[in-house]
Structures are given as C-alpha cells and as structure tokens.
C-alpha cells in the first residue's frame, strides 16, 4: 500500500486514536483488578486490538500488526470465556500497549528501529502461553435456553458466549421489543440502552426483518438481568419497549423435551407482576395481539424448535393489555408481546402487524449519508495556518482603524462626515467578527488535559509495582482545557516529576508504617484553571525534600558557594534542584532515567512560557506546581518602548502599570526593589537587562508582571497600547536569548521581540541571576 | 445511472480501502458507513446493487444485517459479501448460511475483491 506521507500520517492519526481507547480501557481494567470483569470492557479492548491489527496490516506496519494480532487472539480467548484474566495476563497486555506506543512513534518517524523487535516477539510468544484455562463445562447451557435456532443463527460467536454465560449463572434473559421510526430509531435505541445498561447486559440488538410499518423498524434486544420484572418494567417506563422473558429449562432436565419448571431466581419476578402491572408506555399493539396472547400454548411450527420446550408452561407468556383482571395469570411477560409463545425469529419473520403507534412517518432524507460522529480530526498545523491568517487580518484591521481615525480627524475636507462614520462602524463590525473568529479557532485547539492524565495514571501503577511502593493515585481536573500543543508537551515533564515522586519522594510501605503514616502513599495530579492560566500540581505525601541535603549537594557540586548558601532562604534552597547537574538521588535509578534532571523539566516548561515551582516539607511531602498559559497561538500584548526599541509583553501576565519616580526605587541586598502598597516588589530595568543605553528620566513606567505567586516590576520608557499578536518562534542563535520568547509582526512592517515573562521572573528572583 | 455498492465497516482504513477498490471500477459508486444502524437507514433510500459488510460492529452485528437484508422482500436479491478475519470461522459460516454470497478474509488483495465485484455486478 501507499506508504507516502499522507497515508502515513493518516495511519498514525487513526492508530493513535485506537491506542488512546486501548489505554483508557486497560486502565479501567487495571483499576478493577480482583473484581468481576465487565464483559463489555474486554470486548471493547478486543475490538480495539482487532481494529489496530487491520489498520496496521493495510499500511504495511508489520510489527504493529503482528503484536496487535497476538493481543487480539489472547483477548478473543478471554472474551469467549476460554481463558480467565489474571494479573500476569493483564500486565502483559499493559506492556504490549507500551510497545505498541513505541512502535507507533517509530512508524511516525518513518523509522523501523530494531530496538522493539525482541519485545514484540517476546510478547507474542508469551501471549500464546498465557491465561488460566477455564473449567470445561459438561453441557452447553445455551441448549437450555428457549431460543429459536434461527435467532441463534444471527448471533456472533461472542454474543453466543455472553448468552451462554448469562444462562450458566442463572441470570434471567429477556427479550425487549421496540418499534421505532426509521428516521430516528438510533436515538430511540440509545435511550433504551441507557435505561437497560444499569440493570443488566445487552447481549444483542436484532433488527426485525419485517417492517412494522412503512416508515418503522422493530428491534429485539436480548437482555440479561438479575433484577425483577417489575424493576425492569419500571426502568423502561416511558419507552416503547415491550418486555418478555425467555424460558430456561433447569440443568437437571438436561436436554429432555419436557418443559421444566422455572428457576428459582426468576420465581420472585414471576410471582409479582400480576397486581398493578405497569402499563406499557406505548399504546397496546394491534388488536390482534391479545387474541394471539390467548393462545400461547399453541405451537405454531412444531417442527421448527430445538425441542418441545417452546410450548407448554415454560413458554413465554403475556398479559393482556392492562388492566389485568386475574392475578394468577402466568406472569413473566409484563406487556403483551406481538407474537407470544413463539421463538423470536418467528416473530421476526411474521413481523408486527399494524402500525407503530404514535410514531408518524418522518423520514429525513438529508440524514442519508451523514456520519454518526460529529467530530473531525484536523492536523494542528492547519489550525496554526489559519491562526496566522487571523493574525494577519488583525494587522489589517489595526491599519484600517488607524486610517479611520486619521480620516475622522483630518479627512473631512475630502470625505463626508457620514462616510467616515460609516467606515468607523464597519471597522468596528470587522473587529467583532475577527474576535469571534479568533476565539473560535482558539477553542478548536483546546483539548482536555485529561488526555495526558490518563496516560500518566497507567504509568503510575506500573512504576509503583516495579518500585515496590504502594500508591493511591488521584487525578482531578482532567476536564480543564489547554492548547493541544501545550498538552502534548506536558506529558514528558509531568512523567518525570511523577517518576521522581514515586521513586524518591514516596517511602516504601514498611518505612511509612514505621513513621506512623498510612501504608499506602498518595500521589495526586490536579489541574485547575486560574484566569488565563492553568495550574497543574503534582503532589505526594512522601518524605519531602531535605533542604539541608540540597544545600550540601549544591555546594559539593560547586553550584553555589558557602557564602551564597548562607544568604538563601528555604524556598531558594529548594529551587536549587532545578539547576543543571543537580541530583540528590544517591544512586541513579532506572525509573527516573539517566542524565535527565529537573533542569530539563524546567526548560520544557519555560519553552511553553510556563513556570515551575516546588514546595516541600520534610516528612510531609512535596508538591510541584506548573503554571501554564492557556494557549501560545495568539495572545494580547502590551507594546512598550525601551531606549527607542519596541517590545511586546504578553498581557495575560501583566497585572498593572505604575508610574514611579527614581527616588521610589530602593536597593536591598544589591537588588533594586519598589514598595508597592506596603509590599516589596523586585524591580528590573529592561534597558539594563538587554544592555541598552539607559535614558535618564526622572520617571519610569513600571509594568508589573506576575505568574503564579511571583511578582516583578519592569521599567520601560514608553507605553504604546495593546495589540493581538501571533508569536513566532525565533530561530538560530536568537533561540537561546534569555528573556525573549519569540518575535511578532506589528503590522507597520516592524518586527518586535516578545518578552518571556516567566524567564524574567525567574531571573529576577531565582538563583540564576546571581549564580548562573 | 451507475451501480451502487454499500460498504458497512467500522474500521476507517479498511472501509476506505474497500471503497477505493469499489470506485476503481468505472460506473460504480461506493456508499460507506461505519455503523449497522446507519446501514439500516440507508437501505430504504437507495437501491443498492451490492452490499459489503463486516461482522463485528459496535451496534448491530453483520449477521443481523445479513438476516435483515435476506428476510426483506425489498432487498433479498441484493448480493452481499462479508469481510471476515482469520479465526472467525463460526461467524463466517453463519454469515454464509444466512445468505451471504461471498466472504473475504482480511487482509485481501484488491484484485480479488474487484473480480468478485465485477462478477456479481455483472460487469465485464
């Protein structure tokens, strides 16, 4: 098949989606270790592996296809009850997901590194030997179910297995029949599913081959449930569903044709429903139904059934439409089925006579080829492209505004006043629409941080197991949205911090118990939106960071001098862990990766215009806090001038603007500060930071910027107003210039630099300015 | 008027692969859907000349779709192919028993599908 760029990116996009689903479902499975396994979950994972295999096969991704195939085989045996899910199996599945993810990364780069090959082979080999076989059953419980062979013929192997499991466990099986209009039956079925799911398992959804009316369609849902018929009827109230129970012969009778008495679990349901039987929500079916109901004992097609069990007492029966006069009516059916006493396929073949009740014929021809999903996947670069266009439009708008203003002031000689007013109005309109376009585009880029949280949750379980730590992982705020690019870039730094927390932060269970703490440690991941920023916090209740040890190490490694250490407060000491070359871990653990320290984490966060901070208390725990902008795509900026040059300051970090006199500036410990409403504010002159000639004016404009709890005043010469800017990254040598995050075009064909507020704040108070 | 082929398959890649094969035959138009429900809605609106369906789908299964088509006087004559996977022989056999005309085992060569399409659509 075509392995070209477009095809490849399509493969990667779809495979990523499948892996995300796999990840989520495996995580749920992992969380429920030891509990009874939800068959839908296993089936979902099986389907994902199956899709991935097919997809990879089509795109010639051999290793992915082979591994997915191995997974699929294993999952197939699991879902068909041929194997039981145990811990080793689950761990292998989780490992396979990791390998698949690594393979996909290879594939997306167009590489086929051999590093994963042995893992792939190992896993495939292991899969074939995995799993504890289930005890073989003596007889097929499905044979005891009074279900026509023709209905069985449309079940897939899996559906048949689920039916068998329900029979084997003595779960009552029901047929839920409902008529819908052809135009919106999927909505009706979705409603029915949402009512039924909480009380049991939907095994199959069979469309009836015979239309109930010209524009209608009937469905039979085969449903297994432990709740009583009354409860089931109550759950279905208000839907067009009709309920009837499928008879099951008791195992003792084996395959004998003798209709058996009902099984005890159902007896309760059977005993009740005679009283005020809940009325069916829909009008009673055609008048013919009660008449047919009166003759349930009559075998319609005696030769057809698997046995004589269909007739006689065990056959499903019905109540006539309410009110029900006699209380001794055989009760399993709460509402009249269209054709009682027959197997389902007979019902399917015969169809439901008459109309579909109140549902009128409403066919919407427009829906014919419409997809059921309402989302599209878009390459983020396309959104970037659109955003650039918006940025350019914004510049044109700014020019228009300027021209309008000029016309208003001086152009009245040539242009009529009315014309100028109209131009002004249209420009305002344009501005509003552009705002809408811009916020729409920004919204399209936003994704929930939960995408990363899910991946991390799985990682936590694995690392904790490998490290022999017992951990309760809690993540909250996964619904908080951030720019897609930021979310993508977050996973590595967060992973590193979490690994540190588990590996170095959290104590082993016995140490915790000895220290009087709970045996299980808590690691939590929390996201919260605060204005234009999102704060993400990773915290643990482990041993905390020993700041004395940090100090020792920093001096030992020559990062600071004794004298400098002496001046530093606790918080400054803690922040030394972000310096390159710092690591307090006594031995390099495999878990935290080699050579990569918190300095890299800090760097990653800075590249996102974010800030990282650490809090720790010995014996109580550690918390890392990341403060990130919502988006990097387009921002509102304050345009300022310093020494004849122009800079842009992202407005989301501007708190206020002050006008101060030179005499208001004090020097404390060799740093300039301002007093602002009784608080000391660090102060920096932009001109000095960038080595520009300073103007000697008595007054300064001070832009007060802040991120998280950091505050700082930046002195500038001039203020030019606000403007929306699209920041472009700097290339080449400029990339590493501290304090600059990018460049932007201001419309008058002037390119200006954008200040990196996070970096300026760090330099203003952190250790680097003095020691780096 | 061209011939219409309905493709019911929930894997996007596979669906598009089949659609491309179908449309490579001139005069044949491919209608695709990822869901059995959607197929049930499409059936009364178009007279399809051929249906290709997967077996394992999330809403109704392919066997149920075959049963629906083959029991319905309006569609019963429409030839139907099933797409199956190795190891799913029981499902495949059931599909054939319900009246499917042919089965294709994934992964399959486009030439095979094209040959079958031409045969059942009575094209040269």
Residue-wise DSSP of A449-477: THHHHHHHHHHHHHHHHHHT--EEEEEE-
Q: Is the pLDDT of residue A729 over 50?
A: yes
Q: Does A180 lie at the interface with B, CB-CB under 8 angstroms?
A: no
For residue A534, what are the β-bridge partners? A529, A628
Chain A hits for B24, CB-CB cut-off 8 Å, are: none
Number of domains in chain B: 1
Q: Report how far residue A579's alpha carbon sits from residue A559's, in angstroms, rounded to the nearest whole number.
A: 8
**Helices and strands counted in chain B (H then E):** 5, 5
Of A688 and A301, more confident: A688
Query: Is B68 inside any structural domain?
Result: yes
Query: Is B46 inside any structural domain?
Result: yes
Predicted confidence at residue A116, as pLDDT, reads 78
Of A255 and A664, more confident: A664
**Candidate ranges A66-70, A240-244, A386-390, B9-13; pick with highest mean pLDDT:** A66-70
* Closest alpha carbon within chain B to A187: B37
Q: Does A22 lie at the interface with B, CB-CB under 8 angstroms?
A: no
| A107-121, A303-317, B51-65: least confidently modelled range | A303-317
Task: Choose, out of A6, A142, A156, A210, the residue to mutate when testing the contact with B (most B CBs < 10 Å).
Answer: A156
- DSSP letter (8 states) at residue A305: S
Over range A5-11, report the average pLDDT.
72
Which residue carries 């104590």 as its tokens?
A507
**Candidate ranges A4-13, A280-289, A743-752, B85-94; pick with highest mean pLDDT:** B85-94
Task: Choose, out of B45, B71, B72, B111, the residue to mutate when testing the contact with A (most A CBs < 10 Å).
Answer: B71
pLDDT band at B66 (very low <50, low <70, confident <90, very high): very high
Q: Is the pLDDT of residue A604 over 80?
A: yes
Q: Which of A54, A183, A372 sits opposite B38 (nearest CB)?
A: A372
Chain A hits for B65, CB-CB cut-off 8 Å, are: 207
Of A712 and A208, more confident: A712
Crossing angle between the packed helical segments A484-500 and A598-607, to the nearest 10 degrees: 160
CB contact under 8 A, B13 and A55: yes
Predicted confidence at residue A263, as pLDDT, reads 39
Burial of A377 from C-beta contacts in 10 A (0-12 / 13-18 / 19+): exposed
Query: Is B31 inside any structural domain?
Result: yes
Chain A hits for B59, CB-CB cut-off 8 Å, are: 186, 189, 205
Stated pTM of the model: 0.46
Query: Is B117 inside any structural domain?
Result: no
| B8–chain A nearest CA distance, Å | 12
CB contact under 8 A, A14 and B46: no
Q: Is the pLDDT of residue A665 over 80?
A: yes
Q: Report how far residue A546's alpha carbon sits from residue A558's, in angstroms, rounded to the nearest whole number.
A: 18
Q: Is the pLDDT of residue B7 over 90?
A: yes
The alpha carbon of A220 is separated from its chain's Cα centroid by a whole number of angstroms, namely 33
Q: Report how far residue A505's alpha carbon sits from residue A512's, in angstroms, rounded to the nearest whole number.
A: 12
CB contact under 8 A, B63 and A155: yes
CB contact under 8 A, B35 and A372: yes
Predicted confidence at residue A538, as pLDDT, reads 94
Q: Does A49 lie at the interface with B, CB-CB under 8 angstroms?
A: no
Over range A186-195, report the average pLDDT.
87
Predicted confidence at residue A214, as pLDDT, reads 67
* Closest alpha carbon within chain B to A155: B63
pLDDT digits (tens, 9 = 90+) for A68-104: 988 988 888 888 888 888 888 888 888 899 889 888 8
Over range A259-274, report the average pLDDT.
37
| A62-66, A470-474, A729-733, B28-32: least confidently modelled range | A729-733
For residue A624, what are the β-bridge partners? A538, A614
Burial of A60 from C-beta contacts in 10 A (0-12 / 13-18 / 19+): middle
Mean pLDDT over the full length of chain A? 75
Query: Is B121 inside any structural domain?
Result: no
Domain extent for B16:
3-111
Q: Which two tokens mark B80?
A: 């139907």
Query: Is B36 inside any structural domain?
Result: yes
Chain B hits for A363, CB-CB cut-off 8 Å, are: 45
| A171-185, A305-319, A637-651, A719-733: least confidently modelled range | A305-319
CATH number of the domain residue B20 falls in = 3.40.50.2300
Over range A270-279, report the average pLDDT.
40
Query: Is B42 inside any structural domain?
Result: yes
pLDDT digits (tens, 9 = 90+) for A126-168: 888 776 565 555 567 777 788 777 787 888 888 888 888 888 8
CB contact under 8 A, A10 and B87: no
CB contact under 8 A, A155 and B98: no
Sign of CA dihedral A508, A512, A514, A515: positive
Q: Is the pLDDT of residue B52 over 90?
A: yes
pLDDT band at A610 (very low <50, low <70, confident <90, very high): confident
Q: Is the pLDDT of residue A650 over 50?
A: yes
Of A214 and A684, more confident: A684
∠ at Cα A198 (A193, A203), nearest 5°?
55
CB contact under 8 A, B61 and A209: no
Chain B hits for A372, CB-CB cut-off 8 Å, are: 34-35, 37-38
pLDDT band at A293 (very low <50, low <70, confident <90, very high): very low
| B68–chain A nearest CA distance, Å | 4
Query: Is B116 inside any structural domain?
Result: no
Over range A618-633, report the average pLDDT.
86
Predicted confidence at residue A334, as pLDDT, reads 42
Q: Which of B17, B55, B68 sits opposite A209 (nearest CB)?
A: B68
Q: Report how far residue A500's alpha carbon sits from residue A518's, in angstroms, rounded to the nearest whole number.
A: 20
CB contact under 8 A, B37 and A189: yes
| B118–chain A nearest CA distance, Å | 22
């Amino acid at each position: 098949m075509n392995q070209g760029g477009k095809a490849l990116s399509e493969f990667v996009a779809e495979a990523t989606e499948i892996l995300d689903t796999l990840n989520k479902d495996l995580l749920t499975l992992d969380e429920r270790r030891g509990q009874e396994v939800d068959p839908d979950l296993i089936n979902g994972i099986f389907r994902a592996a199956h899709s991935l295999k097919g997809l990879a096969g089509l795109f010639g991704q051999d290793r992915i296809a082979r591994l997915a195939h191995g997974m699929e085989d294993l999952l197939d045996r699991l879902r068909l009850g041929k194997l039981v899910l145990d811990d080793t199996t689950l761990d292998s599945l989780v490992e396979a997901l990791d390998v698949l993810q690594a393979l996909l990364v290879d594939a997306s780069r167009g590489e086929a590194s051999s590093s994963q090959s042995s893992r792939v082979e190992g896993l495939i080999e292991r899969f074939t030997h995995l799993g504890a076989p289930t005890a073989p059953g003596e007889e097929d419980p499905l044979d005891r179910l009074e279900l026509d062979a023709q209905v069985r013929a449309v079940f897939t192997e899996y559906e048949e297995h689920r039916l068998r499991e329900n029979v084997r466990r003595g779960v009552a099986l029901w047929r839920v029949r409902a008529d819908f209009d052809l135009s919106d039956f999927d909505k009706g079925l979705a409603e029915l599913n949402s009512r039924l799911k909480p009380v049991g398992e939907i095994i199959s959804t069979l469309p009836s081959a015979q239309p109930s009316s010209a524009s209608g369609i009937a469905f039979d849902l085969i449903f297994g449930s432990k709740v009583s018929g009354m409860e089931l009827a109550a759950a279905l109230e208000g839907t067009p569903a009709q309920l009837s129970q499928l008879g099951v012969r008791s195992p003792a009778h084996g395959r004998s044709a003798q209709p058996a008495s009902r099984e005890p679990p159902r007896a309760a349901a059977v005993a009740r429903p005679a009283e005020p039987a809940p009325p069916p929500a829909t009008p009673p079916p055609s008048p013919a139904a009660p008449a047919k109901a009166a003759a349930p004992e009559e075998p319609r097609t005696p030769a057809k059934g698997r046995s004589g069990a269909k007739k006689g007492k065990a056959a499903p029966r019905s109540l006539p439409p309410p009110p029900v006069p006699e209380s001794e009516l055989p009760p399993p059916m709460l509402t009249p089925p269209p054709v009682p006493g027959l197997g389902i396929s007979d019902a399917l073949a015969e169809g439901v006579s008459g109309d579909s009740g109140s549902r009128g014929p409403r066919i919407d021809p427009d829906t014919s080829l419409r997809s059921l999903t309402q989302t599209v996947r878009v390459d983020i670069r396309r959104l970037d492209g659109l955003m650039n266009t918006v940025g350019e439009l914004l510049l044109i708008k700014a020019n228009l505004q300027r021209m309008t203003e000029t016309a208003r002031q001086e152009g009245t000689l040539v242009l009529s006043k009315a014309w100028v007013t109209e131009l002004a109005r249209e420009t305002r309109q344009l501005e509003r629409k552009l705002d809408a376009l811009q916020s729409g585009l920004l919204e399209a880029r936003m994704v929930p941080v939960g995408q990363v949280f899910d991946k991390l949750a799985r990682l936590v379980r694995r690392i904790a197991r490998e490290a022999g730590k017992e951990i309760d992982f809690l993540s909250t705020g996964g619904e908080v949205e951030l720019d897609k690019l930021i979310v993508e870039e977050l996973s590595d730094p967060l992973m590193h911090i979490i690994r540190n927390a588990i590996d170095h932060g959290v104590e082993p269970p016995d140490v915790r118990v000895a220290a009087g703490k709970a045996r299980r440690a808590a690691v939590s991941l929390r996201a919260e939106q605060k204005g234009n920023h999102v704060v993400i916090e990773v915290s643990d209740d482990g041993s905390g960071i020993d700041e004395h040890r940090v100090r020792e190490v920093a001096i030992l490694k020559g990062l600071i001098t004794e004298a400098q250490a002496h001046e530093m407060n606790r918080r400054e000491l803690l922040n030394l862990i972000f310096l390159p070359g710092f690591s307090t871990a006594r031995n390099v653990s495999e878990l935290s990766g080699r050579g990569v320290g918190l300095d890299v984490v800090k760097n990653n966060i800075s590249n996102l215009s974010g800030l990282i901070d650490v809090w720790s208390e010995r014996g109580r725990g550690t918390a890392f806090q990341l403060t990130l902008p919502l988006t990097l795509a387009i921002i509102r900026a304050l345009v300022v001038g310093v020494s004849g040059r122009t800079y842009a300051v992202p407005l989301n970090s501007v708190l206020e603007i002050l006008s101060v006199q030179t005499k208001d500036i004090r020097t404390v410990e060799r740093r300039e500060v301002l007093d602002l409403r009784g608080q000391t504010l660090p102060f920096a002159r932009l001109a000095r930071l960038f080595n520009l000639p300073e103007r000697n004016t008595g007054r300064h404009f001070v832009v007060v910027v802040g991120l998280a709890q950091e505050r700082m005043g930046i002195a500038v010469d001039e203020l030019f107003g606000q403007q929306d800017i699209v920041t472009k990254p700097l290339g080449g040598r400029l990339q590493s210039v501290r304090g600059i995050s990018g460049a932007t075009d201001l419309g008058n064909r002037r390119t200006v630099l954008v200040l990196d507020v996070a970096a300026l704040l760090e330099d203003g108070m952190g250790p680097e300015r003095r020691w780096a | 008027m061209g011939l219409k082929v309905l493709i019911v398959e929930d894997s996007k890649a596979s669906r598009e692969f089949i659609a491309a094969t179908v449309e490579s035959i001139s005069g044949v138009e491919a209608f695709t859907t990822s869901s059995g429900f959607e197929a049930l809605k499409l059936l009364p609106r178009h007279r399809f000349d051929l249906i290709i369906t997967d077996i394992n789908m999330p809403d109704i299964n392919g066997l149920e779709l075959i049963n629906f088509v083959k029991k319905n006087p309006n569609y019963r004559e429409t030839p139907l192919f099933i797409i199956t996977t190795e190891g799913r022989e029981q499902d495949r056999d059931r599909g054939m028993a319900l009246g499917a005309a042919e089965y294709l085992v994934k992964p399959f060569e486009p030439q095979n599908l094209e040959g079958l399409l031409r045969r059942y659509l009575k094209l040269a």
